[in-house]
Structure 1
Amino acid sequence: MSSPISTRSLGRATLARQHLLEPARMSALEMIEHLVGLQSQEPLSAYGGLWTRLVDFRPSELSDLIESRQVVRILAMRGTVHLLSAADCLGLRPLMQPVLDRIYRQTRVRRAIGDLDGLTRRAQDLLRAGPIAATDLSRALLAHYPDADLEVVGMATRGSLALVQVPPRALWGRSGRTTYVPAADWLGKPLQAADIRDVIRRYLAAYGPATVADVQAWCKLTKLREITDTMPGLLRLKGENGADLLDLPDAPRPAQDVIAPVRMLPDFDNVLLSHADRSRFMSPDDQRRLSTRIVVVPSIFLVDGTVGGWWHLDRKRHLVTVTPFRRFSARQRQQVLEEAVRAGNLYLEHTRLDVREADLST
């Protein structure tokens, strides 16, 4: 029987699969599909997520994919907005419907609306006229539901219907209101749920090795052990804490002493949100620090493969601030500051940026 996999080795394996050890020479579309989507709560977050993983990434490449309908923004895993390829949108959005029902059609929503199917039909009628802003859609529906408010109506609508957020929302250098079009209309194809077994394999290829609980934390679907127990071809491994891990036989598992460069991640980056046990990337103290920012998952930087602190770009002041969680060597500190400027220059190209360190207590 093989030796248990150390927590540090788990981190290196996931970083390799995330292309955070070495940037990949692939297209933005290929990376989005490899990662099974990028969380995109903030419109520009995905640009930073691709920049840190790809060689010579250009923001215009992603904007072109969004405008040409090869990539869309839509609610999916964990009930959050994701940037998905068109093919993944058609398969993953219906697969995640039970998750969306649980999050967006909760008891208070059902009580305020009553007939959720009736609301869905009314929303579909309004959407047939063409793209409609999210707030305008909610206001039009609210007239029929006096016991509800805009938030409740909006939750019920976007949880019930597969609605794409269309451009100019999330285009580089532009802004736009959240405006909806049904995914099937936008992509010209019907939605059909993907095979969960294929999705689990893709998750392991990008986030593994992982436990069943990790897979469920990534997507929020439940009862997946019943499925993984019958899946052929998976490796069954042990973590150093005794956890039962799943993996793909040919997936990379580099040595734990492989160098992990400093990496600047955008807010809401998938790699920090896709495991139930996040110890491969952060200490218990760091997890507590980040739990205080549960509404906004901040922009994090990694040092030697684990969370080193967070960083923030002040566009008006042309200032990048890094807040370390621990002391670094002189070389690591210099690498953090240099990478912070590089990350800031993604958003403020050809601008001279200042960089400063902030004390965690501030």
Structure 2
Amino acid sequence: MTVLSNRVLNRTYLRRQLLGGRETLRAVDVVERLVAVQGQESDSPYLGLWARSSAFQRAELAGLLQERTVVRSALLRGTQHLCTGADYRWLRPTLHESLERMAGRAGRLTGCDPATFAEAAVEVMAEGALTRPEIARRLAARFPDVNPAELALVVHLKFALLHPPPAGMWGHHGRVTCVPAETWLGEPLTPPDPGTLVRRYLAAFGPASVKDFQVWSGLTRTRKLFEGLPVFRDEGGTELYDLPGAALEDDGGAVPVVLLPEFDNAVLGHADRSRILASDDRPLVMPGWSIVRPTVLVDGFVAATWSMTGSTVTIAPFRPLAARDRAAVDEAAARLVDFVAPRTGPEVRWE
């Protein structure tokens, strides 16, 4: 069985994630390629698309959301993601089992008959675009013995709800409303398709292990879906699966410095993230539960975190960088400022 070095995995991963060099791609094609783009923070999808496509402009994604070509919803691991409307129709049913499990852990809804609760939730959501607190208040009137916060979270996970604009717009931090997905899309959802999800995952994240896929998707009992696929091993002996005929990159070649937003799936896409993030550096990127800092890739690996205030980008390297790498980071940070705040002059600070 062929053993793939970590650098081969890194270079292959960068190519599949569109991070080996910014290409001229439409935003909808990037979203589709990545299966779903992390959208936990409103600006993150814009920064993630900008990192991958030199043609990307903020208005492009805003237009896709307004046209319903791209939608925002709780998907992978129960967190907010953007995907195409066409993909959502099969992706959400495929993730339903995982989200149902999360809903069960989030709130037991003691004293609620599940069928009665589901019927009441459907009736409430049919009233129009409502925020999660508004949905919870309406349901709490019917189920006064249940914690409203639990009601809101269970509905968020249990039902196929989309968050229409202005949610997902650049800089939006206001009300986020929920609408039934089939109402917003004007089409019914389709049956689950876990086999397609595995293939799409490998196209964007492979070669990868079964555990990698399960951590990324939240699905369990998926090993049979990988049967018959080409198998490799990493340097630690873990079996990695890939699509038949999928290209592997060599371990050389220069790659650009990349600034990724917080929660980007390029960093979160595997159980073993060593192909892009050294295990010793993981606490610097993920210092606590639900915290994933914006990262800087140098030579293909996470080498620093970054933050931005106004037009000032602050770089926090994990260890000293060579002069040429610092200069490349400075240039990438200046391009970021030009994208985020084009009317201001950039300033880069190093910690």
**Which TM-score applies when normalising by structure 1?**
0.93
Given that 1:168 and 1:175 are in contact with CA atoms closer than 8 Å, whether structure 2 keeps it comes out as no
Query: What are the residue-to-residue correspondences of 1:215-230 with 2, within 5 Å?
Result: 215-229=213-227
Name the structure 1 match of 2:199: 201
Cα distance in 2 for partners of 1:190, 1:250 equals 34
State the secondary structure of the residue aligned to 2:329: helix
Name the structure 1 match of 2:259: 264
Name the structure 1 match of 2:313: 320
Cα distance in 2 for partners of 1:51, 1:14 equals 18
Name the structure 2 match of 1:25: 24
Given that 2:10 and 2:276 are in contact with CA atoms closer than 8 Å, whether structure 1 keeps it comes out as yes
Deviations 1:62-104 (A, max 9, x none): 0000000001001111111110100111111111111111112
Q: Cα RMSD over matched residues? A: 1.6
Q: Deviation at 1:143? A: 2.1
Are 1:311 and 2:306 matched, yes or no? Answer: yes
Cα distance in 1 for partners of 2:297, 2:48 equals 13
Are 1:297 and 2:292 matched, yes or no? Answer: yes
Given that 1:237 and 1:246 are in contact with CA atoms closer than 8 Å, whether structure 2 keeps it comes out as yes
Are 1:122 and 2:120 matched, yes or no? Answer: yes
Cα distance in 2 for partners of 1:104, 1:357 equals 42
Name the structure 1 match of 2:330: 337
Query: What are the residue-to-residue correspondences of 1:159-170 with 2, within 5 Å?
Result: 159-170=157-168
State the secondary structure of the residue aligned to 1:105: helix
Question: In structure 1, what residue type is equivalent to 2:14?
Answer: L
Given that 1:113 and 1:153 are in contact with CA atoms closer than 8 Å, whether structure 2 keeps it comes out as no
Query: What are the residue-to-residue correspondences of 1:270-281 with 2, within 5 Å?
Result: 270-281=265-276
Question: In structure 2, what residue type is equivalent to 1:258?
Answer: G
Q: 1:62–1:248: structure 2 CA closer, same or farther, 3 Å change rule?
A: same
Given that 1:15 and 1:21 are in contact with CA atoms closer than 8 Å, whether structure 2 keeps it comes out as yes
Deviations 1:92-150 (A, max 9, x none): 111111111111222x6114463233222222112222211222111111222333333
Deviations 1:10-44 (A, max 9, x none): 11111010110112222111110110010111111
Deviations 1:210-267 (A, max 9, x none): 01111111101011112212xx4x2111211111111123323111112121100011
State the secondary structure of the residue aligned to 1:125: helix
Cα distance in 1 for partners of 2:19, 2:211 equals 23
Question: In structure 1, what residue type is equivalent to 2:236?
Answer: N
Q: 1:208–1:171: structure 2 CA closer, same or farther, 3 Å change rule?
A: same
Deviations 1:310-352 (A, max 9, x none): 101113xx32111001111000011112212222332212211
Name the structure 2 match of 1:91: 90
Query: What are the residue-to-residue correspondences of 1:101-112 with 2, within 5 Å?
Result: 101-106=100-105, 109-112=107-110
Are 1:10 and 2:27 matched, yes or no? Answer: no
Given that 1:11 and 1:305 are in contact with CA atoms closer than 8 Å, whether structure 2 keeps it comes out as yes
Given that 1:130 and 1:181 are in contact with CA atoms closer than 8 Å, whether structure 2 keeps it comes out as yes
Cα distance in 2 for partners of 1:259, 1:150 equals 53
Question: In structure 2, what residue type is equivalent to 1:165?
Answer: H
> Between the two proteins, what is the percent identity of the paired residues?
37
State the secondary structure of the residue aligned to 1:143: helix
Name the structure 2 match of 1:146: 144
Cα distance in 2 for partners of 1:347, 1:119 equals 44
Question: In structure 1, what residue type is equivalent to 2:338?
Answer: N
Question: In structure 1, what residue type is equivalent to 2:278?
Answer: S
Name the structure 2 match of 1:67: 66
Gaps of 5+ in 2: none
Cα distance in 2 for partners of 1:218, 1:128 equals 32
Cα distance in 1 for partners of 2:74, 2:98 equals 10
Gaps of 5+ in 1: none
Name the structure 2 match of 1:284: 279
Cα distance in 1 for partners of 2:142, 2:172 equals 34
Given that 1:78 and 1:219 are in contact with CA atoms closer than 8 Å, whether structure 2 keeps it comes out as yes
The farther-off stretch of 333-342 and 160-169 is 333-342
